[in-house]
A and B are shown apart, each in its own frame.
Chain A
Amino acid sequence: MLAPLLLLAVNVVATTEDLASIAREVGGDKVKVDALARGYQDPHFVEAKPSFIFIMNKADLLVFVGRELEIGWLPPLVLQSRNPKIQPSAKGSLDASLNAKILEIPTGQITRAMGDVHPQGNPHYWLDPNNGRRIAQAIQAKLAELQPQDAAYFGERYADFDKRLAEGEKRWDAAMAPYKGTKIVTYHRSWPNFCERFGLEVMGYVEPRPGIPPSPSHTLELIAAMKSQGVKVLLVEPYFDLKTPNSIGRETGAEVLTMPPSVGGEKEITDYIKLFDYDVKLLGAALAKAAGN
């Protein structure tokens, strides 16, 4: 009689592997988690494959990044899921951004002349570990609401994740401390939360505007600015072409780093804490080398 009750698990669908990892941390063996986008994929341009509809049809909880990151593909999937639990504003629909610290919320008039701007702020907010904590809180509260009998279990799981995250933060802060104020260049605007957290300054972007591919004139300006300001590190997300970044690297002597912004971006990045372990190690080594030069 008790066995089927114990087997009850909350079916969670997360749009990205980062959110999936945090949901696994908090949910433990009381949840079954599926991620839609892979960590090495551009989360703006995921295809709305019908195979996702089957997964979403059975979900009890949909966790998404929000801030219009998934606007090109998530709404039709939710609509076609035929699942009342995860429709907009339903109990099982969780916008993970609502408690997170969001940067770059545009003020004043915005137009598409600025590129593919996100009117509700930069959606790459999970790249500050403290936002990971806030996402975990939101998921914990939601899981407790959906499955109240396991609320204490989710609370313990959260506390454990929070503790390990805090230990990680000490490591990462210590590793990045020597490079406070260092200027870097990134391909897309994926890293404002990461850079704010670790005290780095983004001097410019390979994209002339968000979502607009590099142009020769912008690239030349960027090279000149990087030379004059001594920028020695250029971060590229794994789903962008390396041709322009590499030529900028050759011109300026900057190291071009392919740095994954998501869990699953590299094989060894299997969870949210390992994502920062990997990125901090990779970037720390490059910054150390640049400082030594």
Chain B
Amino acid sequence: MRAVFCSCVRPLFVLALAAGATAQEPSSPPVSEDVQRLEAELAALRQEFAARLGALEAQLAALQAPVAAPAPPPAEAPAPVAPTAPAPAPNYSAPAGSSKVFNPDMAVIGNFLGAAGKNDSPNAPPSLEMSEAEASFQAIVDPYARADFFLTFGPDEVGVEEGFITFPTAPGGLLLKVGKMRDAFGKVNAMHSHVLPWTDRPLVVDNLVGGEDGLADAGVSISRLIQNRFLFLEATGQVYQGNSAIFAAPERKDLAYVGHLRAYRDLAESSNLDFGGSFAYGHNGATDDATTRLWGADLTFRWRPLRRAIYRRFIARTELVWSRREGEADTANAFGWFGAAEYQFARRWFAGARYDRSERADDPSLTDEGGSLLLTWWPSEFSQIRGQFRRTDYADRPTANELLFQFLFSIGAHGAHPF
């Protein structure tokens, strides 16, 4: 661009000089003086030309610049300083020079599972499997909202585990979410696989709440705090399309509904109690108007001494689920629950146990029962290795004794610690 510009301008400039010289000839002083004067003029013109060309090039560069690199945002203005204050401090805020600053926080979490031992169940995991890679993208959308995407890549499917926008300050003190979400039914259903304290999901989740995929659907969620003196209370109401692992909507109008009430109370500085009640309703697709209703209760006790928070903690949790599923001919009422505990006994070590018992949603006469022992090691906040011995007494299959193990590893942005 610059070379073309110069080669066009130069001949014009030479022509103009020649014309100027011709016009001055009639009243000319002696030739040598003329030549000297012309040389001086030429030198002056050269200088002026170079200056103008420089200015033009600078303008051209300025015009082209925004395409390549946006102007850096203005530095943060220092706070007003009081009269008695010392000299203003230099600004140490982080530099923000490129468009990358608006990229969302990204992270990828790998969940590798292994299993040994015999299990005839169709849900039994294979010997070695890259069970899931979850990519998360999270950022603030605008002054009113933020967005969270969790894409999962499994051995044979890719999907949006969650993808929703949150309006944290909707009118009326409401927290509004719109998108695809894991339903707020109990505690375990809302958890992603990598934050579970086990390598698997409890039997009651497999039998009654849709297993790994669980209740997750496209919909709208609103929740509100109920202010009072005694308890933290949060009520959540959700409306979904009605298609998930449990629900299947025959028609557009057949929406699914979820309600959740969470109560929480600090017992002391280092211990607290968290309890919830949940309800879910939707069509199940068995017939045009067959529905499934789920009721859930959950209770979590946590102990974590503040001075030794990174070395010791204890969590006990239980979740109970009642399912009422209408079929073609009759209605099945099934119940299941689990109870589990984890204890952190060193900075990097956790031990845990779980008891499972659940009837089957479509045939409550079949009851599966199981128990697990777990040991988890955390090399750092960003990876963990877990072993789980699991014994399952199936109602209609031989008892399975399995050794499950898991490698979890995460790269990218530092996410929030699960609570």
Contacts of A158 in B (CB 8 A): 82, 84
Q: Is B169 a contact of A41 with CB atoms below 8 Å? A: no
The reply to whether B86 and A130 form a contact with Cβ atoms under 8 Å apart is: yes
A41 and B311 within 8 A (CB)? no
- Asked if A281 is at the interface of the complex by the 8 Å CB criterion, the answer is no
The reply on B108 being an interface residue by CB < 8 A is no
Task: Check A82–B169 contact: CB distance below 8 A.
Answer: yes
Known: A48-B416, A79-B166. A99 touches B79 (CB 8 A): yes
Q: Shortest CB–CB separation between residue A135 and chain B, in angstroms?
A: 10
A34 → chain B closest CB, angstroms = 14
Q: When A48-B417, A89-B143, A213-B347 are in contact, do A120 and B85 touch as well, CB less than 8 Å? A: no
Chain A's interface: helix, strand, loop or mixed, by majority? loop
The digit string for A70-93, where 1 denotes a CB below 8 A from any CB of B, is: 011101101111111001111000
A116 partner, pick from B85, B166, B381, B415, beta carbons under 8 A: B381
Tell yes or no: A49 within 8 A of B by CB: yes
- The count of chain B contact residues (Cβ–Cβ below 8 Å) is 56
Shortest C-beta distance, B242 to chain A (Å), equals 27
Number of A-B contacts (CB under 8 A): 149
A44 to B166 alpha-carbon distance, docked (Å)? 26
A169 to chain B, nearest CB (A): 11
Q: Which of A40, A78, A138 contacts B79 (CB 8 A)?
A: A138
Contact with A along B365-387 (1 / 0, CB 8 A): 00000000000000011100000
B159 within 8 A of A: no
Partner of A72, one of B86, B166, B169, B414: B414
In Å, the complex CA distance between A284 and B237 comes to 59
Taking CB atoms and an 8 Å cut-off, the chain A residues in 72-128 that contact chain B are: 72-73, 75-76, 78-84, 87-90, 97-102, 105, 112, 115-116, 119-121
Of the candidates B82, B93, B262, B265, which one forms a contact with A159 in the assembled complex, judged by CB atoms under 8 Å apart? B82
Q: A94 to nearest B CB, angstroms? A: 9
At the interface, yes or no: B81 with Cβ under 8 Å from chain A?
Answer: yes
B109 within 8 A of A: no
Q: Does A51 contact B (CB under 8 A)?
A: yes
B168 touches A82 (CB 8 A): yes
Neighbour of B417 across the interface among A51, A53, A73, A140, CB < 8 A: A73
Assess whether B92 is in contact with A101, with CB atoms less than 8 Å apart. yes
Most buried by B among A45, A89, A212: A45
- B307 & A41 in contact (Cβ 8 Å cutoff): yes
Q: In the complex, which residues 86-108 of chain B have their Cβ closer than 8 Å to any Cβ of chain A?
A: 86, 89-94
Q: Any chain B CB within 8 A of the CB of A16?
A: no
* In the complex with contacts A68-B414, A137-B79, A141-B80, A82-B173 CB distance below 8 A: yes
Known: A41-B307, A47-B304, A88-B140. A137 touches B82 (CB 8 A): yes
Q: How far is the CA of A79 from the CA of B265 in the complex (A)?
A: 20
A46: chain B residues at CB < 8 Å are: 309
Question: Does the CB pair A45–B310 fall under 8 Å?
Answer: yes
- Bound complex: CA A142 to CA B80 (Å): 9
A179: interface (CB < 8 Å):
no
**Scoring B residues 254 to 291 as 1 if CB is less than 8 Å from chain A, else 0, what string do you get?**
00000000101110010010100000000000000000
A62 to B307, CA, bound (A): 24
Contact A45 B417 (CB under 8 A): yes
Q: Nearest Cβ in chain A — how far from B314, in angstroms?
A: 13
Q: Are B82 and A87 in contact (CB-based, < 8 A)? A: no
- Chain B residues with CB under 8 Å of A84's CB are 168-169
When C-beta atoms are compared, the residue in chain B nearest to A214 turns out to be B347
Q: How far is the CB of B1 from chain A (nearest CB, A)?
A: 34
Q: Is B232 within 8 A of A162, CB to CB? A: no
How many Å lie between the Cα of A115 and that of B348 in the bound state?
15
B272 & A40 in contact (Cβ 8 Å cutoff):
no
Q: Are A141 and B79 in contact (CB under 8 A)?
A: yes
| Shortest distance from the beta carbon of A193 to any chain B beta carbon, whole Å | 12
* Interface residue? B60 (CB, 8 A): no
Closest to A74 in B: B416
Alpha-carbon distance A121/B83, docked complex (angstroms): 29
Contact A162–B89 (Cβ < 8 Å): no
| A105 & B92 in contact (Cβ 8 Å cutoff) | yes
Q: Are A72 and B92 in contact (CB under 8 A)?
A: no
Q: In the complex, which of the residues A45, A54, A89, A99 contacts B225, with contact meaning CB atoms closer than 8 Å?
A: A54
Q: Does A42 make an interface contact (CB < 8 A)?
A: yes
- Name the CB-closest residue of B to A162: B84
Bitwise interface map of B from 64 to 80 toward A, beta carbon under 8 Å scored 1, else 0 = 00000000000010111
Question: In the assembly, what is the distance between CA of A159 and CA of B82, in Å?
Answer: 8
Complex Cα distance A229/B346, Å? 32
Most buried by B among A41, A51, A78: A41
Query: 10 closest pairs, A vs B, by CB?
Result: A84-B169, A102-B92, A50-B264, A50-B232, A72-B417, A41-B306, A141-B79, A48-B419, A120-B94, A76-B416
Known: A133-B85, A137-B79. 5 other contacts (CB 8 A): A51-B265, A73-B419, A89-B143, A138-B79, A238-B307
Q: Can you spell out 15 A-B residue pairs with CB atoms less than 8 angstroms apart?
A: A41-B307, A48-B416, A48-B419, A50-B232, A53-B232, A54-B232, A73-B417, A79-B166, A81-B168, A90-B143, A112-B411, A155-B82, A163-B84, A213-B348, A240-B310
